[in-house]
Structure 1
Amino acid sequence: MTDEHHYGYDERGHTPRWMIFLLDLVISISSMVLAYQLRFNFSIPAEWSSRFSLVFPLVIIVRGGSFLVFRTFAGLIRYTGTGESGRLLYVASTGTGILTGINLLAYVVTGGILLFPMSVLLIDLVVLLFLLTTTRMFMRNTYYELFNKRDDRKGVIIYGTGQGGLVLKHTLEREMGRNFRVVGFMDETERIAGKKIEGVMVHDVGDLRAFLERTKIHSFIFSKDPPSPEKKVDIVDVCLDFDMKVLSVPHISSWISSRLAFNQIKSVHIDDLLERTPVPVNDSRISSLISGKVIMITGAAGSIGSEIVRQVKDYDPGKLILVDQAESALYDLELKIREEFNQEKCMIVAANIADETRMASIFAALRPQIIFHAAAYKHIPMMENNPAEALRTNICATKLLAELASDHGCDKFVFISTDKAVHPANVAGASKRIAELCLLDIQKRSGTRFSIVRFGNVLGSNGSVIPRFRKQIETGGPVTITHPEVTRYFMTSTIAAQLILEAGAMSEGGEIFVFEMGHSIRIYDLARKMIKLTGLVPGQDIEIKFTGLRAGEKINEEIMYTHEYTTPTDNPKISLVLDRNRSCDGISGKIEALTQLLPGNDNDKILAAFSDILPGFQHAAAVKSKD
């Protein structure tokens, strides 16, 4: 027999429920005996002892019944704490209340004879609660002494010493106690470092690396978020240096029946590590932009568009016009938005934004006041081989929407651009840059206030690198990277949409805004971290394969041209781009000539026109003359 069967514990370290129930009954009888002895100074009068044949069966029935009803035996007594003590007080008080009621009933029925002295019942309540609690504390401490001495289980560190950390510890011990052992808590609170919680030492998270150097640990689990996303990244990086698994628990609102289940403990995702500290936005300014207005969002079912929709609805728009041509994605958006927003104020519009007749009828019928234009083709390889489609959607459709907005007196038009529009090396980026120039040109003769926002990659967007890496890892690899030195900027869709709304609200017309994107991230490092977060070893379990830069792909993206510079706005995450060489003279005619090439679908002529508008642009790969 192993040590797991000592002292009445079963093979999981659990005390059988029947044993706890019987122990509680024995404690109840002992408590009553002690109460009598204390009340009568260890000399019980015969008139009271003669009633013991009725008293003690009654105590067993009442106390046993209350234990069964309230299931005091069902909990794991090694987790006894303030919450369990409160429950024991409630159960003991209920039993004492029932005994008091029976005692008073006997007094009435017998004409003045009590079964118990009332003072004995009060003493019994105090003694019973003391014995029930201290017995559980003793068994809890015995469990820690027996089971925490084992060193063959995998060590776990829990970040956070609050209620979430304790619940996580109890969950691990309850469901995985045979395999895992909590060896330490980590926290930012220096005043509790060096103290013990339930027999487990609390360490300052600043000492994490030193702790791991002397202690073998299998997993690090976040029971709460660190003070900042940057701090979380630092902690995870240290853990990955020691080839540990890094896990986290969901917010308490996601727990099942307010109880954490082991299967809710999940691996930390790379998305969590690329988030940054949010910056408060000017809600009153955004509200003045949106509240009561007719808002049109193109590309509404896409990654950025759907997040803009989610945030815009919270500012009580007068009407939402959600435009997209992706039927399935638009249907999913409709189902979700109708659960959260007034159906009468939401218009779901399936439309091709390049269809002039269709879009003109939409503008005439719905009269949008504010437009967020997020619809675009963005994937580099696809647009390299389909420049006519980039022209149709990214340039011609943007020009069409801008002219319709101007003709119908729209107040503001916010265009979502990209860092690929800066020194473009591909068709997608070039088409977005030409769209920027088109809007700046239209602004000169329009009462509508046009603005442009530029930022980098959105975490988790369709077709982006993170979902692709995740799928490659799940299928066993290899993880494919174009070049070992490729870097990219990343931003969450939530923060991007917040800043888009903020930029739109502060726009006065003709601005280009750029967002503070933080440091660019080396994609090779990103891939290695994603592999390690799954508990695998890069190069051993999952191969990383370099495929070479794709046509039109740059090693590093930029957010501004060399002739541009920025000036701060009142939001530290948004800067206004100023251009020393900005001039749209002659651009209108060139763009008009470019749009005339669309019916011919001649890729060579389209690309030549791109280069005429953007002198520095050269197409990176040969394209067939005709599709």
Structure 2
Amino acid sequence: MVYRWRSLFLLVSDTVLLGLSLWFSLWIRFDGGVPEKYYENFGNLLFPYILVFLGAFFFFGMYRRAWAYASIGEALALAGAVTAGSLGSLIVSLVWFPGPLPFPRSFWILNWILAVVLAGGSRFVWRLFRDYGLGLKKKKKGSRVLIAGAGAAGVLVAKELKSHYNGGIRILGFVDDDPLKQKVIVQGIPVLGTSEEIPALAAGHKIQEIIIAMPSAAGKAKRRIVALGKETGAKVKILPGVYDLIDGRVKISRIRDVDVEDLLGRDPVKVDLDGIAQYIRGQVVLVTGGGGSIGSELCRQIASYNPKALLILDACENNVYEIDLELKKAFPDLHIVSLVKDVRDRRSVIQAFKAYRPQVVFHAAAHKHVPMMEYNPEDAIKNNVMGTYHVAQVADMFKAKKFVLISTDKAVNPTSFMGASKRLAELVVQYLDTVSETSYVAVRFGNVLGSAGSVLPLFKKQIAEGGPVTVTHPAMVRFFMTIPEAVQLVIQAGAMAKGGEIFVLDMGEPVKIMDLARSLIELSGLEPGKDIDIKITGTRPGEKLYEELLTAEEGVTATTHKRIFVARPGALLPDLIEEKIIARIVSGSLPQTGEQALEMVREFLPGFKEQETGTSLPEEPGGQPERRAGRGDRETGDWLTVQNRLRERKEEENMAAKMV
């Protein structure tokens, strides 16, 4: 109904204004003294002229456009409609009055100009009302805003703020570090200076809010601007990240408070979509640990590349249930199979491969918490080494094409049992690559923001509880990535894999955990040391002050992707891997105590924990090193002999060969 009334109003308005443009064209042409014969012609042609113009306006959609948001596109359409109307009226004149034209030639030019001015002006006045109210609406004393970034994102922010908060927000200006933008005016808003001038500009213009409109900027640049903004006392907000905007998850107007992830941002990750789609599309893909932080994001991203089927395997029933529910809602046409199985149970792994024949395997199942694995080192070996071998070796049995191990920077020169177990897992998949047609690779990256058990959720919880925020050491530094970014690079590395590589992801600059804690407290609107204390607790068992991505002997080789590198492998020692890892797994003689786990690790990493005293294992409350004599302790004699286990495994492999 509103649309019809608006169209009717514009139609009546155009009828009047087009008639006036015709009359004023004559009046101007003859300086007010219009000859009598032209009066007669005007009376005869006024009605057909207006009909022709209105027809042209209908044809160009002048009554379907939202003139409150008029821009260059609408202006060009208006000019086209008036031009068509002028040509049409000229044709009518020639048909109606054979012979000389009924009006002088200059009349047609004047009429075109006046029609554009009057018809266009009547429409663009709606844009003026929307943006400025033409003084009819009393403007509020809105929040005084400074926008950091005068690029495309900054312009979009300015437009949205004008559209949605007319009078409620006053944009005083932009700041931008581009020399070409200094002292220019963008969207009617001046660029006042560079980001370094934020404190002075904020004081001079009494800025109340600073909006960072640089979605693709690196974390270092954002940290600097946030720090400058905090000096002013103004509220600092940020535009969502570039991936959120592209994916449509948020709109420009969804400006939010700065979060710590923004300060740790990276340059946007660009992936080879064709390459990824080629090795995942139409394939059966298995993700072990698919209910965890990394595994679940792997499942989300893999699902978008149209696999034939997605297998989600995890030992935790609740985790599998949640990701299964989410993906079936988001991808109703995708064949999703959720498997509650433990990678330490080889027969269960074989059953899964036999039933579904996965062609691409992402192995994310692992014990990952460093302090927990210091108290349970033998379980780190069982889950991270034996579990990896089971999935990787069964992948070979059933002729999978690719196997990607999710590894960690803690596997490099490890000081923890978690890191050491992941290093042994890397050696296992590198060894299998030499004896299998399956392509085996590993991907190393550092800490993932927001993953279960990571430092960020812990800090947020401590701040919510009133503190203190606990930091183990003031000099502690870590590499960080967001979960989606890390997973994108993992999938990309899988596309690049030829076999046997250890891919290393570029983690950017390391971040001091102390700085991270301070930033998060400040972003919560509190002051470190005053509102929330930071407590130094001391390093935990197995922790290093800094992490590394390469061992001394590895070195690095560039790839076609600027964020992914390949570690040059050292000597593999296959005989040692067969004897000290695979034979122990097959025979059921893996370590059953902390001391045995330490002995096994030192066979591959001779210097492991030598700098620590005693057995280097954490002590239990009673003060004694943890000892567990389980049923797998070879001294008890409860297990089958090595020969029996080898024979049993051979039978399993023969059975699997018949299945293939």
Give the TM-score range, shorter chain.
0.7 to 0.9
Letter paired with 2:600: I
Provide the residue aligned with 2:5 in structure 1.
none
After superposition, the Cα gap between the structure-2 partners of 1:34 and 1:478, relative to the gap in structure 1 and judged at 3 Å, is farther
After superposition, the Cα gap between the structure-2 partners of 1:332 and 1:289, relative to the gap in structure 1 and judged at 3 Å, is same
Deviations 1:145-186 (A, max 9, x none): 999999984232252344x54443233234434453222234
Match of 2:353 among 349, 363, 379: 363
Q: Is the Cα contact below 8 Å between 2:555 and 2:567 reproduced in 1? A: yes
Give me the TM-score of the superposition, normalised by structure 2. Answer: 0.70
Consecutive unaligned residues of structure 1, counting only runs of 5 or more, are 1-18, 109-115
Letter paired with 1:459: L
Q: Do structure 1's residue 377 and structure 2's residue 375 form an aligned pair?
A: no
Shift of 1:468: 3.7
Match of 1:75 among 49, 68, 73: 68
Give, in whole Å, the separation in 2 of the partners of 1:359 and 1:467.
33
**Aligned residue runs from structure 1 range 207-606, under 5 A:** 207-216=194-203, 217-223=207-213, 225-226=215-216, 231-244=221-234, 245-248=236-239, 262=253, 264-277=254-267, 290=280, 293-312=283-302, 317=307, 319-334=309-324, 337=327, 343=333, 346-387=336-377, 389-440=379-430, 448-470=438-460, 472=462, 478-504=468-494, 507=497, 509-533=499-523, 536-539=525-528, 543-546=532-535, 548-549=537-538, 551-552=540-541, 554-559=543-548, 563-571=552-560, 572=562, 573-579=564-570, 585=576, 588-589=579-580, 605-606=592-593
Shift of 1:257: 12
Deviations 1:417-461 (A, max 9, x none): 212233444443343234334445656665545433322112332
SS at match of 2:442: strand
Identity %, equivalent residues:
28
Provide the residue aligned with 1:171 in structure 2.
160
Q: Is the Cα contact below 8 Å between 1:456 and 1:489 reproduced in 2? A: yes
Shift of 1:491: 2.3
Q: Do structure 1's residue 194 and structure 2's residue 179 form an aligned pair?
A: no
Q: Is the Cα contact below 8 Å between 2:156 and 2:252 reproduced in 1? A: no
Shift of 1:607: 1.2
Q: Is the Cα contact below 8 Å between 1:420 and 1:557 reproduced in 2? A: no
Give me the TM-score of the superposition, normalised by structure 1. Answer: 0.73
Letter paired with 2:472: T
Deviations 1:280-299 (A, max 9, x none): 66677666655655432212
Letter paired with 2:200: E
Give, in whole Å, the separation in 2 of the partners of 1:510 and 1:350.
29
Match of 1:619 among 617, 620, 623: 617
Letter paired with 2:513: I
After superposition, the Cα gap between the structure-2 partners of 1:203 and 1:421, relative to the gap in structure 1 and judged at 3 Å, is same
Letter paired with 1:576: A
Shift of 1:48: 8.0
| Larger CA deviation: 184-193 vs 251-260 | 251-260
Q: Is the Cα contact below 8 Å between 2:288 and 2:365 reproduced in 1? A: yes
Q: Is the Cα contact below 8 Å between 1:100 and 1:121 reproduced in 2? A: no
Shift of 1:363: 1.8
After superposition, the Cα gap between the structure-2 partners of 1:145 and 1:226, relative to the gap in structure 1 and judged at 3 Å, is farther
After superposition, the Cα gap between the structure-2 partners of 1:311 and 1:176, relative to the gap in structure 1 and judged at 3 Å, is closer
Q: Is the Cα contact below 8 Å between 1:490 and 1:517 reproduced in 2? A: yes
Q: Is the Cα contact below 8 Å between 1:293 and 1:317 reproduced in 2? A: yes
Q: Is the Cα contact below 8 Å between 2:470 and 2:536 reproduced in 1? A: yes
**Aligned residue runs from structure 1 range 34-73, under 5 A:** 34-38=24-28, 41-44=31-34, 70=63
Shift of 1:612: 0.7
SS at match of 1:377: coil
Provide the residue aligned with 2:4 in structure 1.
none
Give, in whole Å, the separation in 2 of the partners of 1:141 and 1:437.
66
Deviations 1:268-290 (A, max 9, x none): 43324433235666677666655
SS at match of 1:43: coil
After superposition, the Cα gap between the structure-2 partners of 1:566 and 1:88, relative to the gap in structure 1 and judged at 3 Å, is same
Give, in whole Å, the separation in 1 of the partners of 2:249 and 2:493.
40
Deviations 1:28-58 (A, max 9, x none): 7865653452255413567887999x989x9
Provide the residue aligned with 2:3 in structure 1.
none
SS at match of 2:238: strand
Letter paired with 2:196: R
Shift of 1:353: 2.2
Give, in whole Å, the separation in 1 of the partners of 2:263 and 2:476.
19
Give, in whole Å, the separation in 1 of the partners of 2:79 and 2:362.
60
Give, in whole Å, the separation in 2 of the partners of 1:282 and 1:233.
29
SS at match of 2:285: strand
Give, in whole Å, the separation in 2 of the partners of 1:521 and 1:597.
42
Shift of 1:251: 6.3
Q: Do structure 1's residue 126 and structure 2's residue 113 form an aligned pair?
A: yes
Q: Is the Cα contact below 8 Å between 1:381 and 1:550 reproduced in 2? A: no
Give, in whole Å, the separation in 2 of the partners of 1:318 and 1:494.
22
Q: Which has the higher contact order (CA 8 A, sep 6+)?
A: 1
After superposition, the Cα gap between the structure-2 partners of 1:624 and 1:253, relative to the gap in structure 1 and judged at 3 Å, is closer
Give, in whole Å, the separation in 1 of the partners of 2:330 and 2:593.
44
Shift of 1:487: 1.3
Q: Is the Cα contact below 8 Å between 1:426 and 1:619 reproduced in 2? A: no
Give, in whole Å, the separation in 1 of the partners of 2:574 and 2:547.
21
Q: Is the Cα contact below 8 Å between 2:216 and 2:268 reproduced in 1? A: no
| Larger CA deviation: 421-430 vs 610-619 | 421-430
Consecutive unaligned residues of structure 2, counting only runs of 5 or more, are 1-8, 98-102, 603-607, 610-615, 631-660
SS at match of 1:579: coil
Shift of 1:546: 1.8
Match of 2:169 among 180, 183, 191: 180
Provide the residue aligned with 1:3 in structure 2.
none
Shift of 1:375: 1.0
SS at match of 2:543: coil
Deviations 1:35-91 (A, max 9, x none): 452255413567887999x989x99xx99xx99x95999738xxx753564576589
Deviations 1:120-168 (A, max 9, x none): 8985563243256669689789969999999984232252344x54443
Provide the residue aligned with 1:14 in structure 2.
none
The count of residues paired between Structure 1 and Structure 2 equals 596
| Larger CA deviation: 449-458 vs 321-330 | 321-330
Shift of 1:415: 1.8
Q: Is the Cα contact below 8 Å between 1:372 and 1:416 reproduced in 2? A: yes
Shift of 1:591: 6.8
